[in-house]
Chains A and B, each alone.
Chain A
Amino acid sequence: MIVAENVEKRFGDMPVLKRVNLTVAPGEVVTILGASGSGKSTLIRCINGLEQLSGGRITVDGHDVSTKAGLVAARRASATVFQLFNLYPHMTALGNITLAPIEVLKLPKAEAEARGRALLERVGLSAHADAYPQQLSGGQRQRVGICRALAMQPRYLLLDEVTSALDPEMTGDVLRILAELAADGTTMVFVTHEIEFARHISSRIVFLEQGELIVDLPTADFFAEEGGLAVPRIRQFLSKLKKD
């Protein structure tokens, strides 16, 4: 379980997250919605320890990410897929995927590579195992990024706007894989602008507005007239997206 309690984050004097509370139980797919700059990505970066909290507490399976030992354990339990892929350019697709399993999980190389190849096959990239990131399209790179995360067999998958840098066709490839993962019961925290997709795969949707988590509802309720749509800010946000 991921538990965020009264999480505060400030960059200098500017508050980015204000007393955010969020719980993600195993098996859930929780989507974080909100306008640009509302703090969605920062919340993910607080969970995986790339940002230090200014206040409050985050635990992953009971491990406090603000302690050194807790962060190691929390990072072992979760894996992140990044908006800009963040692949290692000097390693092949397979090398990107097997690095952490070999170095951190201490898997034998052959086993890590077998796992990596199986994942690449699953996302339709088995022919590209030996390609370097520069030789791959954006959508292919992001699929490698997903494989890299899955190779760690994480309990929680953190997805930070993973389709924002992709064109619509490539977005479809990536979303299809995520939908499969959701159907398999993978626990996900999903920051996205793909509202229809979020509606399709999420069990819950939370809405961040200027650093405050103003709504946290099951997906069906979030889109119900008397639920999320009753909140003016959300109605406005959704109608704006539809117009785009």
Chain B
Amino acid sequence: MRYADFTPYDIVLLLQGLGVTLALFVGTTVIGLLLGLLLAVVHHYRVPGCRPVIVVVTEALKNSPVLVQLFLVFFGIPAFLHVRMTPVEAATLTISLNTAAFAFVIFRSGIESIEREQIEAAEVFGLSRARILRLIIAPQAAAFAVGPLIGILVNQLQVTSLISVIGVFDLTKIGNILNLRTLQPFIVWAVIGLIYYTAAKTLAHFGGRIEAALRKSAQWGGI
């Protein structure tokens, strides 16, 4: 067997890479969605001074390349603030913020899709702001947001491949290693692409089921 041949151990390598990709994706999704939701709520309640800041920052994140954001965080922040930052930390921070920016926009439109009149009715009947948010706004905004959010998340899963550039050993980085060793780019990248494809399709499938379940319990047909 030559050094350049594929070995059974390569499968372990691929699984490790997939594990890193998925872990990073899940982690940044959780952080990103929570942060995006928080921003949308803060924006909704017009917390003084917050609206312009949120809008400027999220617009910047949405309208600049993720790779540039990644470089800014990985090289820029340590140089500027004199702190250490590992590739995984930089990747987590960047993609979380990027997901949060897109999630914010979706949650915001979800909240804004709810007519003012319903909220007035709930106010008049004595429901507190927190209850109105939880019982009136959240269920409707969730049904509105779930479809677009799944679309964004499928995209963000692909975006994680960029983090290989700063040295995170994700699926794409493993692909790079295998490619350099075997010099079989067509096979390596086809397999890597297929794994991403399968992961994305699985995500979309379960997302679709969540969406169907949400809409079923919300069969008012207004959305």
Residues of A within 8 A of B (CB): 48-50, 72, 75-76, 79-80, 82, 84, 86-90, 99-100, 103-104, 132-135, 148, 152
Contact = CB atoms under 8 A, between A and B. Distances in A.
A103 B131 contact: yes
Contacts of B127: 99-100, 103-104
Interface in B105-145: 115, 117-118, 120-127, 131, 135-136, 139-140, 143
B220 interface: yes
Contact of A90 (B121, B126, B131, B139): B139
B136 A88 contact: yes
Contacts of B136: 88
Contacts of B140: 89-90
B64 interface: no
Given A103-B127, A132-B220, A133-B220, A86 B139 contact: no
Nearest to B142: A90
**B: contact size bracket:** 20 to 34
B125 A104 contact: yes
8 contacts: A48-B124, A75-B124, A87-B118, A99-B122, A104-B125, A132-B220, A132-B221, A134-B222
Interface of B: 115, 117-118, 120-127, 131, 135-136, 139-140, 143, 218-222
A203 B139 CA distance: 43
Given A132-B219, A134-B220, A134-B222, A89 B118 contact: yes
Given A103-B131, A134-B222, A88 B124 contact: no
B117 A88 contact: no
Given A88-B136, A134-B220, A152 B125 contact: yes
Given A89-B222, A90-B220, A133-B220, A100 B125 contact: yes
B117 A82 contact: yes
B125 A79 contact: yes
Contacts of B117: 82, 84, 86
Given A75-B126, A99-B135, A80 B121 contact: yes
A89 B220 contact: yes
Given A79-B125, A100-B122, 9 more contacts: A49-B123, A72-B126, A75-B123, A79-B124, A82-B117, A86-B117, A86-B118, A103-B127, A134-B222
B218 A90 contact: yes
Contacts of A134: 220-222
B125 A99 contact: yes
A152 B121 CA distance: 13
B222 A75 contact: no
A99 B124 CA distance: 13
Contacts of B131: 103
Instruction: Choose among B121, B139, B219, B220 the residue with the greatest number of A CB atoms under 10 Å from its CB.
Output: B121
B210 to A, nearest CB: 16
A64 B126 CA distance: 15
A231 to B, nearest CB: 33
Contacts of A48: 124
A75 B143 contact: no
Instruction: Choose among A84, A86, A87, A133 the residue with the greatest number of B CB atoms under 10 Å from its CB.
Output: A86
Contacts of B219: 132
A76 B127 CA distance: 10
Given A89-B222, A152-B125, A50 B120 contact: yes
Contacts of B126: 72, 75-76, 100, 104, 152
B216 to A, nearest CB: 12
Contacts of A99: 122, 125, 127, 135
Contacts of A75: 123-126
Per CB-CB distance, the 10 closest pairs between chain A and chain B, nearest first, are: A100-B125, A86-B121, A104-B126, A132-B220, A86-B117, A89-B220, A134-B220, A80-B124, A75-B126, A89-B222
A133 B117 CA distance: 14
